[in-house]
Structure 1
C-alpha cells in the first residue's frame, strides 16, 4: 500500500504559483476584446525596446512593465521569452543604476514564481547565479550596517535592501527546485549563514523578507544533506528556529478571525520553521533543540490549529466577492502604464486577494508537513536496506504521534521492552476513539468549493491563484489521510487495534461518506487539459478509501453505484498502483457478511481480471487473485454462496498456470519485492484451491 512521501529522485517542491493549464491563454484569450489586444501589443514592444535604452528611467520602466505583463499569463510570458526577455533582465542585474537592478530582480522573481521550471532553467543557463552570488555579501554588509545603526539608513533603504533581498532569496529558492545541477551550484554559495542572519534579526526586519528567507531554508533543507547538515550542526541556528516556533504563544489566536497581515506572516513563518526543524532532525546536543521531540512537541501544537481554523468555503466566498469588485474597474484603467509605474501599486481588493492566497498557501504547507510526519514507509534506498537500520514508524492520530519502532527494535533504547510494551498498548487501544480530532479538520479540507478547480468546460478559473492553492490543499489533505489510514491499517497495527465502542464502529462509515462526498464532487472529467488536479484527487482518494475499508472491513456496506465507480476507475486508470488500490478497496467492501449482491458484483469483476492476462498488469492481477482468496477464506459467511454458485473454484484452478507464468516473468533482481509478493500469491492460491476442494461444498 503506497504512502505519499517525497522521493529523492523526483523533482522537489513545485515553485509554480499557478499551473499554466489553469490559466487563460494570454492574448488568445483576449480575442473577444480588440481593445485589450491592441493595448497590450504596443506596450510589450515598447518595453522590450526600452530594456536596452541608455536612459536609466526608461530601463526601469521596461522592467516594471514586463513584471506587470508576465503574472498569471503563460502566452504573454512565452511571447516575451521569444524576445529574450530573460537574457535582457539578467543583464540588467549588472546595471549601473541601483533602481533598475531592483526592478529587474523583481521581474525575474515574478518570472520564477509564475513561469515555473522552464523559465528557471533558462535563467540558470544564462548564468544568473553569477550576479546573484555577488549580491549576497553586499546585502549582508549593508544589512549589518543598518541593523547596527538604523539612523544611517537612507529613506529608500527598505526598497533597495529589504525588498531586493526578498527578490534575490526567492529567485534562489525557485532555481534550487529546477534541477539537481542548479541545486548543487547553489549549495556551493554557502547560503545558510546569510539566510539565518535574517531569522536571527527577526525583531528588526520586515516579516516579508524574513518569511522569504525561511521559505528558502525550508526548501534547501528538504532532502539536501549539505545544507541540512550545516544547519543541524549549528546549535545557535537550531535554537533560533526553536525560539521562533515557540515564540509569542500567548498572543496566538485560536481561530483565523480578526487576523491582520502581520498575524498571517507570523503564522507562515512559524510553520516554515517547524518544517525546517523537521527537515534537519534529529538535532544533536548541545543545541537546546536536541531535547525536544520535534513531532510531538512542535509539529502538532503548531500545525493542527492552522489546519483546523481554515474555512475554505469562507475564503472562496470572499475571493468571489473581491473578484466582482475588481471586474467593476474599467479594463483600460488596469492596462494603463503611463509615466513610471510601480510594480507594487495594487488596489485594496488585489491586496486582500494576495492575503487570502498567502493564508491558503500556509495551510497547504502545514498539511504537507503533516503528510511527511504521517508517512510510515522509508525511502527505498538500497544502502539503508542492506545495513538493516531500524526505521521509525510514525502514526498520526488524535492523541498525538505514536512513535513505534519496527521489528528490529532499538538496541540503544533506555526503556526496557516491557516498559515500551506497557506504554504503547494503551496508546494503541485509545487510538480509534481519538481519530476524529485530527481526521475531521483534514476531511474538511478535502471538501470542494466553487473555486477549487478550473471549470470543466475549458474556461479559466475566475481567480487562478486561489484555484491553484485550493486544489493543492485538497490533494495534500487526501495524501495525509492516505498515510494515516494505511498506517493504521498495517498488519502490525491491526493485530493490536480493535473497535471497542459503538462510536468507533460508527466512525468508519462517516469517514467513508465524507471522502466519497469529496470525490463525487470532483466529477469524472479528469483527463481534460487543466483538470490534472481532479485526476490526482481520485488517484489519491482511492488510497484513502482503501485504508478506511481495511480498518472497517465487514462494517462498510458496499453500494452498487460506488462499486461501479471503483470498477470503472480500475479499468480506466493507466497507473497499475491505482488499479491495485481500487481492487484492494473492492476486496474489503465485498466482505460485508450480509451484502450477497454486492459481493457477487465485485467478485465477478475480480474473476474477470484473471481472465485478461494481456490487458491486466502484473501487480493488479496478483492483487485480484489475492483478493479472491481473502474474500472466500471463510466458507461459513453468508456470501460464500456466491463462490459456490459462480463456479469460482474452477475459475481459480484455471488461473493457476497464468499466475505461475506471470510470476516467472518478474525479474528477481530488478523487482525483488514484487517477485516475492508474486510467489506468495501463487503459493497461497494453490493452497486455497486444495483447501476448498477438501471442503467438498
Structure 2
C-alpha cells in the first residue's frame, strides 16, 4: 500500500473548469454542437481590424462567448483565437490590452492544459514579462498617493494585475518548461508585495498572488529558496494565517467575500511548501495547517450548494449577451447579474474547500502511526459531540506532542477529520455531468467532483496510517470499521460505474475510493463481512484495468474480505480468483508482475492460520498443489523484474521476499499433513 503522492508530470492543481471531453474530437463536432458559429468570424475579423473600439469589443466578446461553452471555446481555438489575443497584448490602445489579458485569463481557467500549452508555445510570456514591472510601478504609486488616480483607474489596474497573475499561475501548472521560464522572471518579490500590502488592496488581487505563490512553491526550489531565508516574507505569511482572514481593514475588509477565506488557506499551503526551514519553533502542520483547515472542510453542505446552484441556473438565461455587445455600449468585462455573482461566490467557496483538501492530503500522508493505545470508538459518534470536538480543536486537539501521544492522534484525526471528510464524498445531483452531455453549471460540477476526490485522498492516507500500525485496539472497534466501510461503499455505489466521454471523474473517484476501502479493510481485517456484489465489482475492476497499481488495490481489498472467518463461500470465490491469476504466471501472457506478487502474498496471508473456519477451502480445493505447480512460473516472473524502471528495486526486493515465503509456506502446509 502507498500513500497518495503528487503526480510530478501533471502539475495543475485544478481540473478543467469547463470540460469538453464529452465532445467528439474535431472542429466539425464542435461546430455542430455550438449555437454561436455566426459570431466567430466577425470576432476574429474585428480583433485584427483598424478600429480600437472594435478590437476591444472582440476581446470582450471572447470572454462572453466561452462562458460555460466548451464547443464555442474549441471553435475559437481552431480559429487561432489564442494567437490573435496574444498579438493584442502589444496593442497600441491600453484598453484593448486590458481586455485581451482578461480573455486569455478566462481561456486559461476554463480550458486547462491544452490552451495553456498553446499560449506558452505562442510565446505569451514575452509580453506578460513586460507587464510585471509596469504593474509594480503603477500600484506602488496608488499606494503612496491613492488620491492621485480616480477609483475606476485604480480598479482597472488591480483587475489587470489579477488577470496577469492568474495567467502566470495557470501557465506555471502547465509544464516544467513553462515553470522554468516563469522562474526566470523572479516572480516571488512581485507576488509577495501584494501580500505585504493586503490591507490596502482588493482581496481578489491579493488572493490571486497567493494562489500563484502556492503553485510556484510546490516542489519548485527557485521559489522556495526565495522565501525560506527571508524573515520579512515568512513573517508576512504567518501574520496572514494567524489573523485568519488576514484582511483587517482597507479595501479588503469585507469578510463575506469567499476569497478572504481562501487567502489564509493558500498561505498555509505556501508555508507548508517552503517548510521545514521557513519558520523555527513552529510545526506547520500541527500548529497552523490543521487548526486552520479543519473548520474550512466542515463549513459546507455540498448537497445544499448543489440545490442552490440548480435553482440559480434555472432562473438564468444560458444565452450569451452578445446582443448587448454593441460598439456604442461595450460592457465592462466584469458585468454580471446578481445570479452570476452568487454562482461565482458559491464556486469560490467550493474551490476553497478543494484547496484545503489538497493541502490536507499532504498532511495526512505524513501522519505518524498511532501508538498501541489508540482507539477509534468516537469516529462515528454523536454529531453534536463531533461539533464540540471541532470547536475545540484549535486550542488543544490539533496541537500534537512530539512524539505524538496515542490519545492526541486519535482525538485530532479521527473524529475531527474523518467525519467531515466522509460528508464530502457523497455525490450530489451536480457532481457529474449527464452521460454524453454537459452539466447545467460546469464550474460547480468540476469543483464538487474534485472535492469528492480530494476527500477520498485524505481518507486514503488516514486509513493507511491506521492500517500500517497493526493496532489491536483499532481492529477491535469493529462497529466503527463497519460503519465507515458501509458509508464509503454507499457513496461509491451512488457514483456508479458509467464510463465514456465526460465521465472520467467517476473513474478517478473509484480508483481513489478502492484505495480507501483497502485501508479500511486492512484496519479491520476479519471483521468486515464480505458482500457478494462488492466482490464481483472488485473482480470486474481488477480484470478490466490495465493499471497494475489499481489492480493491486483491488487484490488487497479482496484479500481483507477473504479473511472474515465465517464467510467460507466468499473466501472460496476470492481465493479461486487469486489462484486463476497465479495460474497465469506460467501462461504465454502472464499477469502484470506487481498484481501477481500481491496475489501470492495474499494467498499466504489468508491461509497462514490453518485453524480458521475457511481453511476448509484450502484443503478441499487442493490449493497446495495449485500453489506448488506455479512456483517455477512465479520465480521466472520475479527474475524478469527490471530494477532500472521506476519502483523496480522495491518490487524486485518484495518479489524475492514473497518467492521465498511462498516456498516456505508450501513446505509448512505439507508438513501439517492436512
Is the TM value for this pair above 0.5? yes
Name which of 473, 481, 490 aligns with 2:451: 473
Query: Does 1:654 find its partner at 2:629?
Result: yes
**Matched residue, 1:384:** none
1:651 and 1:189 map into 2 onto residues whose CA distance is 63
The structural deviation recorded for 1:188 is 0.8
1:84 is displaced (CA, Å) by: 2.4
- Residues 600 and 455 of structure 1, relative CA distance in 2, 3 Å threshold: same
Q: Does the Cα contact within 8 Å between 1:24 and 1:460 map onto a contact in 2?
A: no
Aligned-pair CA distance for 1:295? 0.2
Question: Equivalent residue for 2:11?
Answer: 11
Change (3 A) 1:70 1:506: same
1:589 aligns with 2:561: yes
Matches within 5 A, 1:8-87: 8-14=8-14, 16-21=16-21, 37=35, 40-87=36-83
For structure 1, the 5+ residue unaligned runs are 253-258, 377-391, 400-421
Pick aligned residue for 1:604 from 565, 571, 576 = 576
Partner of 1:265: 259
In 2: Cα distance, 1:75 partner to 1:475 partner: 26
After superposition, where does 1:458-607 map in structure 2 within 5 Å? 458-490=436-468, 493-494=469-470, 497-499=471-473, 504-526=477-499, 528-607=500-579
Match of 1:693 in 2: 670
Q: Which residue in 1 is equivalent to 2:349?
A: 359
CA distance in 2, matches of 1:533, 1:155: 44
Distance between the aligned counterparts of 1:566 and 1:310, measured in 2?
32
Q: 1:332 to 1:136 in 2, by over 3 A?
A: closer
Q: Return 614-623 or 309-318, whichever deviates more.
A: 614-623
Deviation, 1:315, is 0.3
**Distance of 2:23 and 2:285 partners within structure 1:** 38
CA offset digits 1:641-664 (Å, max 9, x no partner): 111111111111111111111111
Residue by residue over 1:455-477, the C-alpha shift from the partner in whole angstroms, topping out at 9 and shown as x without a partner, is 13x12211111111111111111
Task: State the shift of 1:431 in Å.
Answer: 2.6
Partner of 1:324: 314
Number of residue equivalences: 637
Name the CA distance, whole Å, in 2 between partners of 1:610 and 1:459: 41
Q: 1:124 to 1:599 in 2, by over 3 A?
A: same
Give me the whole-angstrom Cα distance separating, in 1, the residues matched to 2:582 and 2:230: 58
Superposed displacement of residue 248, structure 1 = 4.5
Residue in structure 2 matching 1:337, options 310, 319, 325: 325
How many Å apart are 1:347 and its aligned residue?
1.2
Change (3 A) 1:641 1:574: same
| Residue 453 in structure 1 maps to residue 426 in structure 2 | no
- Give the whole-Å Cα distance in 2 for the aligned partners of 1:545 and 1:204: 48
Deviations 1:305-357 (A, max 9, x none): 01011110000010110011114x7x486654234132212111111111111
Matched, 1:640 2:639: no
Select the residue among 284, 290, 293 that pairs with 1:303.
293
CA-CA distance at 1:570 after TM superposition: 1.0
Q: Deviations for 1:489-512, whole angstroms, at most 9, x for unmatched residues?
A: 12xx21xx322797x321100110
Q: 1:525 to 1:449 in 2, by over 3 A?
A: same
**Gapped runs of 5+ residues in structure 2?**
377-400
Q: How far 1:666 moved relative to its partner?
A: 1.2
Aligned to 2:584, what secondary structure does the other structure show? coil
Deviation at 1:260, TM superposition (A): 7.5
Counterpart in 1 of 2:389? Answer: none
- Whole-angstrom distance in 2 between the partners of 1:451 and 1:604: 40
Check whether the contact 1:27–1:75 (CA below 8 A) recurs between aligned residues.
Answer: no
Distance of aligned partners of 1:423 and 1:270 in 2 relative to their CA distance in 1, 3 Å threshold: closer
Partner secondary structure for residue 126 of structure 2? helix
Partners of 1:22 and 1:461 within 8 A in 2: no
Aligned mates of 2:242, 2:190 — CA distance in 1: 23
Correspondence for 1:372: 362
Please give the alpha-carbon distance, in whole angstroms, between the structure 1 residues aligned to 2:320 and 2:237: 47
Q: CA RMSD in A?
A: 2.7
Higher mean alpha-carbon deviation, 660-669 vs 274-283, is at 660-669
Q: Matches of 1:433 and 1:125 in 2, distance apart?
A: 47
After TM superposition, give the deviation of residue 582 of structure 1 in Å. Answer: 0.8
Contact 1:23 1:461 in 2 (8 A): no
User: 1:388 aligns to what?
Assistant: none
Q: Does 1:673 align with 2:669?
A: no
Aligned counterparts of 1:566 and 1:514: Cα–Cα separation in 2: 17
CA 632–425 in structure 1, closer or farther in 2 if over 3 Å, else same: farther
Aligned equivalent of 1:282: 276
Is the CA contact (8 Å cut-off) linking 2:245 and 2:263 kept in structure 1?
Answer: no
Cα deviation for residue 434 of structure 1 reads 6.1
CA distance in structure 2 between the partners assigned to 1:95 and 1:430 by the alignment: 58
Change (3 A) 1:685 1:215: same
Tell me the CA shift for residue 601 of structure 1: 1.5
Contact 1:18 1:72 (C-alpha < 8 Å) held by counterparts: yes
User: C-alpha distance in 1, partners of 2:217/2:342?
Assistant: 31
Contact 1:15–1:112 (Cα < 8 Å) also in 2 = no
Aligned-pair CA distance for 1:291: 2.4
3-state SS of 1:338 partner: coil
1:82-112 C-alpha deviation (Å, 9 max, x unpaired): 3322222112112221111111110111111
Matched, 1:124 2:124: no
